[in-house]
Structure 1
Amino acid sequence: MSATNDILPNHAKAPITDTSALGLSALSAIFWGTNFEATRIALSGLPPWTAAALRFAIAAIAILFWLRLSGGLDFRVLRRNLFAYLALGCVGVAGFNAALFLGMQTSSPVTAALIMGTTPLTTNLIDAVLQRRLPAAGAVLGMAISLFGVSLTVGAFSGTRFTSGDLLILAGSLAWALYTIGCRRAVTDATPMQTTAWTMTAGALVLLFAAFFFETPFTALTASTAPALGAVLWMAVIGSVLAYIFWQIGIARRGPGATSVVFNLVPVSALVIAAVFGRMPDLYQIAGVAIAIFGILLASGRLPRLKASNASA
C-alpha cells in the first residue's frame, strides 16, 4: 500500500514522513473521540441502525466523490481487492460501528472509551501472533503505561459497573483491531484513500441493509431532531471520512502496530469533549491524560529518537 498523501489531487501529492503520519493518526484518534458525545446526541433522536447507516451513507458518498475528483477512482483496484474490501467493510466499518451504536444504548461514553483504549494491545497481540514474533519490550511498556493513563483518565479505578452494552463495545474493539491489521496484510496495490473509500462503501451497504431490516429509517428520519441529524453529519464528515483517511495513511507509513498505539488518544479526546459539554475533569483525570500521552510517545519510539538526537548534538 502506498504511503503517499493521496488526500490531495495527483499533481499535489507529496511523501508522508513518519512524524506527519504520527500526527495524522493522532488527529484520527481525536476525531473519533468526538464521536462518543456525537453518538449520544444522535441516539437521542434516531434509532441505532438508522443513525449508523445514515452516517456511513453520507461518508461513503463524500469520500467516493472526492476520490473521483482526486483521480483515484480506479475500479481495477476494487476488482483486485474485492473480497478484502467486503470483509474489511463488514468487520471494520459495519461491525465496529454497529457495536458502538448498539452498545452505547446501555453503556456510558466513559466506559466505552476505556474499552476502546484496549484496542492497541489487542491489535499488537494479534499482529505479533500472525508474524510469529514477540512485540518489542519498549512498545509493550509504552502501551501498558498508556493504558494505565487511559484507565486513570476515564475513572476505571472508581468501581465503574459494566452493562450488557459493554460486551458489544468490546466486540467492536476486536473488530477494529482486525480491520487495522487486515488493511495492511490483505489489501494489495491500493492507496489509503482507495482502501478507505471502498471499505467504507461496503460497510455502508451492510448498515443500510440492517437498518431497513430492523427499523423504519424513513419514518425515523422524518421524526428526528436537528441536533441528532447534525451529530450524524459531524460523524460522517469529520469522525469518518477524515478520520479513516488519516488512519489509513498512518497504517501505510508506520504499520498497524505502531499506528494502533495512538488509538489510546480516543478516550482522552472523549474526556476533553465531555469537559466542553460541562463535565469538567478532576486532577486524576488530567494526570491520566499526561500519562497516556507519555505512553504513546514511548510505545511509538519517539522518546528514544529524541534522546538520540540530543546525544548527537
Structure 2
Amino acid sequence: MSALTPTTRAALLSALAAIFWGTNFEATRLVLIDLPPWTAAAMRFVLAAGAAVLWLALTKGIDMAVLRRNALAFVILGLIGITGFNAALFLGMETSSPVTAALIMGTSPLTTNLIDALLSRKRPPMIALIGMGISLIGVALTVGAFSGARFASGDLLIAAGSLGWALYSIGCRRLVRAATPLETAVWTMTFGAVALLGIALAVENPVTALAAASVITWAAGLHMALIGSVLAIVFWQIGITVRGPAATSVLFNLVPVSALVVSALFGRVPGWSQVLGVAVAIFGVWLAGRARS
C-alpha cells in the first residue's frame, strides 16, 4: 500500500473499516450463542478499550490535559455512544438478523445529518428527506414488512441504538474541545466499557460465562474488539482526516453489503427481498448524501 497516493490509501482504509464493521453483526450472533448480552458487550469493549488506550499511548501519548478538559463530555458520550449503542445492539441481536441490523445501522450517517440540521435550526434539504424515506423502504423490504412480516422487537432496539450513535456523532463535534478524533474515540470507548462492565457484573455472571465460552466465542469476541472496533475506528479516522467526512461517509454503505456477504458465507443465503432491500436502502443513503456534495 506504500505505492498508493495518500488519498487512495485513505479511501481503501475507510472501505476496510466499513467492511470490518459489517462483519461485527455475524460475530455478535456467534458470541450470543454462549454469552448473555451484557457480558458479550462488556467483553468486546473492555478488550477494545484496553487495546485502544495502548495504541494511543504508543503512537501519540496520553495527554491528561485533554482528558481533564473533556472528562464530562467523554463520560456522557461514552454512555450514549458505547454503552447505549452496544446494549441496544447486543440485546437487539437476540431477535434481529445480522443483515437487518447492519442495514438499520447503515442509515445512521443520514440520521446524524438530519438531526444535526434540526439542532442547527436548518431545514433539511428535500433530497435528504426523500433519501431517508427510500432508505426506510429498503429496511422494510429487508425484514419482509411488505409481505406481512413485522419488525422484530430487536429491530426496534437496534433502531434506538442507531439513534444513539447519531447523537454520539453529533456530540463528538459539539461537546468535545481541543481533542483529536483518536483521543475522543479512545476515551469515550473507555468510559463506555467501564459502564458496560459494571452493568454486566450487576445483572449477569460474566466471569462464569466467559470461563465456559467456546474457542469460537472468544475468537469472534476478539475479532469484534480488535478488528471490528479498534482497527475500524482508526482506519475510518484516517479517511476522515485525509478525504473529509462527506467523501468518507459514502463508504459506510459497505457495512450492510459486508454483512450480507458474511451472512451468506455462514450458510444463510439471503432472499431476493433482502438483496433488493439492501440495494434500495443504499440508494436512499447515497441520494441523501448528494445534498452534502
TM-score when normalising by structure 2 = 0.84
Q: 1:93 is matched by which residue type in structure 2? A: I
**Distance change (3 Å), C-alpha of 1:135 and 1:72:** farther
Q: More deviation in 124-133 or 102-111?
A: 102-111
Contact 2:136–2:281 under 8 Å retained in 1: yes
**Distance in 2, Cα, partners of 1:261 & 1:148:** 19
Summarize the alignment of residues 226-265 of structure 1 with structure 2, pairs less than 5 Å apart.
Answer: 226-248=215-237, 254-255=244-245, 262-265=251-254
Correspondence for 2:119: 130
Q: How many residue pairs were aligned?
A: 289
In the other structure, the counterpart of 1:116 is 105
Deviation at 1:105, TM superposition (A): 1.4
Q: Does 1:91 align with 2:80?
A: yes
**1:134 CA drift (Å):** 1.9
Q: CA offset at residue 131 of structure 1? A: 0.9
Cα distance, 1:157 vs. partner? 3.8
Quote how far apart the aligned CAs of 1:21 are. Answer: 6.3
Q: Let me know the Cα RMSD of the aligned residues.
A: 3.1
Report the counterpart of residue 30 of structure 1 in structure 2: 19
Kindly indicate whether the alpha-carbon contact (under 8 Å) linking 2:108 and 2:163 is maintained by their aligned counterparts in 1. yes
Task: Select between 275-284 and 258-267 the one with higher mean Cα deviation.
Answer: 258-267
The 1:281/1:108 distance shift into structure 2, 3 A limit, reads closer
**Residue 189 of structure 1: aligned partner:** 178
Matches within 5 A, 1:32-111: 32-111=21-100
Q: Report the AA paired with residue 134 of structure 1.
A: R
2:266 is matched with 277
Deviates more, 1:188-197 or 1:115-124: 115-124
Deviation at 1:32, TM superposition (A): 1.7
Give the superposition deviation at 1:94. Answer: 0.8
Aligned match of 2:151: 162
- Shift in alpha-carbon separation, 1:139–1:58, aligned structure 2, 3 A: same
Segment drifting more, 222-231 vs 67-76 = 67-76
Percentage identity across aligned positions?
64
| 1:268 is the counterpart of 2:257 | yes
Aligned to 1:173: 162
Name stretches of at least 5 consecutive residues in structure 2 with no aligned partner: none
1:69-117 CA distance string (max 9 Å, x none): 1124211111111111101111100110011111111223233234324
Q: Which residue of 2 aligns with 1:204?
A: 193
Cα distance, 1:282 vs structure 2: 4.8
Which amino acid counterpart does residue 51 of structure 1 have in structure 2?
A
Question: How far did 1:180 drift?
Answer: 1.0
Asked if structure 2 preserves the Cα contact closer than 8 Å seen for 1:114 and 1:156, the reply is: no
**Pair 1:156–1:275, CA change in 2 (3 A):** farther
Task: State whether residues 113 and 267 of structure 1, in contact with CA within 8 Å, keep that contact through their aligned partners in structure 2.
Answer: yes
Distance in 1 (CA, whole Å) between partners of 2:12 and 2:73 is 27
**Per the alignment, in what secondary structure is the counterpart of residue 62 of structure 2?**
coil
Q: Structure 1, residues 17-54: CA drift from partner, whole Å, max 9, x if none?
A: 6x876665544332221111100100111111111111
Q: 1:214 aligns with which of 203, 206, 211?
A: 203
> What SS does the corresponding residue of 1:162 show, helix, strand or coil?
coil
Select between 270-279 and 151-160 the one with higher mean Cα deviation.
151-160
Which residue does 1:8 correspond to in 2? none
> 2:22, 2:257 within 8 Å by CA — same for their partners in 1?
yes
State the TM-score, normalizing by the size of structure 1: 0.80
Distance in 1, matches of 2:54 and 2:252, equals 28
Secondary structure at 2:95's aligned position in 1? coil
Paired with 1:291 and 1:167, the residues of 2 have a C-alpha distance of 20
Question: Does structure 1 retain, via aligned residues, the 8 Å contact 2:78–2:188?
Answer: yes
Q: Give, in whole Å, the separation in 2 of the partners of 1:293 and 1:170.
A: 16
Conserved? CA contact 1:258–1:300, under 8 Å: no
Change (3 A) 1:80 1:186: same
Distance between the aligned counterparts of 2:100 and 2:47, measured in 1? Answer: 28
Deviation at 1:284, TM superposition (A): 5.3
C-alpha change, 1:298 and 1:24, in structure 2 (3 Å) is farther
Separation in 2, partners of 1:167, 1:150 = 12
| 1:187, distance to aligned residue in structure 2 (A) | 1.0
